[in-house]
Structure 1
Amino acid sequence: MTPEALARLHAQAFSSTRTWSAAEFRDLLDQPGAILAGDDRAFALLRVTLDEAEILTIATAPAHRRKGLARKALAQAETAAQALGACVIFLEVAEDNTAARALYAQAGYAQIGRRPGYYLPKDAAPVAALVLRKAFAAR
């Protein structure tokens, strides 16, 4: 996917918050350890640094939600992160994002922290971020 396509899908998936531009996606993809998995319906973008991975964003087009596409992209990205040496993976998710929280719980992530007011929706009160972590099984 091109940075432009990623930005379009991200804007569809996160219409109530600030979305990322094509330039931001280009910069992230150019970073060492960047992993992009998925397709034009759903994608996961991660970054691996040493033995840790971070999920930067996962986006699914509204018309393609609840089809397992985000789960598939996440699993592909996790496999790629492990191949780059990641032993653990972290992310932040909006406290009110029940669909994403269910996805991460099903994938084995556990809450390790909470950041009040982390997300700033366009026309709503700030929302806390839950910090989640998953350790990969030793190989």
Structure 2
Amino acid sequence: MTPGQLAALHARCFTHPRPWNSAEFASLLDSPHVFALSRPRGFLLGRAVADQAELLTLAVAPDARRQGIGRDLVDDFAATSRRRGALRAFLEVAADNIPAQALYRAAGWQHAGRRRRYYGADLDAVVMALPLQPGQQGG
């Protein structure tokens, strides 16, 4: 997907926090540490540096949700991060985005903290972590 296509789908999925624009996607994709995973009607951007990975954003077209696209992308993120040497992954998700939190928990992510007012004065972020090596404990 092009930065413009990523931005268009992101805008369909997010209003608060605000969607990212094509210049922001282009800038992220220029980094050697950032990777994009895509499926028809969905994408995920991740970053892996040293032994840690971060799920930057996940977007699935609203009319294509609950069909396994997000779960496939999250699983691919974990596998890609492992291949890049990450031992643990992190993400922030809006505290009011209960469906996304449920998706991540179902994929093995665990609550790791909270960032107050991360998305503005009225919206916290829930920090979640995923161990990426066999035998690791999350949390």
Q: How far 1:16 moved relative to its partner?
A: 3.8
Is contact 1:9-1:40 (8 Å) kept? no
8 Å contact from structure 2 (residues 46, 53) kept in 1: yes
Worse overlay, 33-42 or 57-66 = 33-42
Structure 1 regions of 5+ residues with no counterpart? none
User: Counterparts of 2:15 and 2:126 in 1: how far apart (Å)?
Assistant: 20
How do 1:24-103 residues align onto structure 2 when only pairs under 5 Å count?
A: 24-103=24-103
The answer on whether the counterparts of 2:47 and 2:53 sit within 8 Å (CA) in structure 1 is: yes
Cα distance in 2 for partners of 1:38, 1:53 equals 18
Q: Provide runs of 4+ in structure 1 moved above 6 Å.
A: none
Letter of the structure 2 residue corresponding to residue 33 of structure 1: H
In the other structure, the counterpart of 1:15 is 15
Of 114, 127, 130, 2:126 maps to 130
SS in 1 for 2:117: strand
Give, in angstroms, the shift of residue 18 of structure 1. 1.2
After TM superposition, the score normalised by the length of structure 2 is 0.91
Task: Structure 2 unaligned segments of length 5 or more: list them.
Answer: none
**Letter of the aligned partner of 1:88 in structure 2?**
R
Judge conservation of contact 2:46–2:56 (CA < 8 Å) in 1: yes
- Greater relative contact order, per chain length (Cα 8 Å cut-off, separation 6+): 1
**What CA distance in whole angstroms lies between the structure 1 residues aligned with 2:58 and 2:18?**
14
Distance in 2 (CA, whole Å) between partners of 1:36 and 1:77 is 9
Instruction: Give the aligned CA root-mean-square deviation in angstroms.
Output: 1.4
Deviates further, 97-106 or 71-80: 71-80
**Partner residue in 2 for 1:111:** 111
The superposition leaves residues 53-104 of structure 1 with CA deviations (integer Å, 9 ceiling, x where unpaired) of: 0010001111111111011111112111111101100000111101100011
Q: TM-score, normalised by structure 1?
A: 0.91
**Alpha-carbon distance, 1:39 to partner:** 2.4
Shift of 1:40: 4.0
Contact 1:38 1:72 survives alignment (8 Å)? no
Percent of paired sites with the same residue: 42
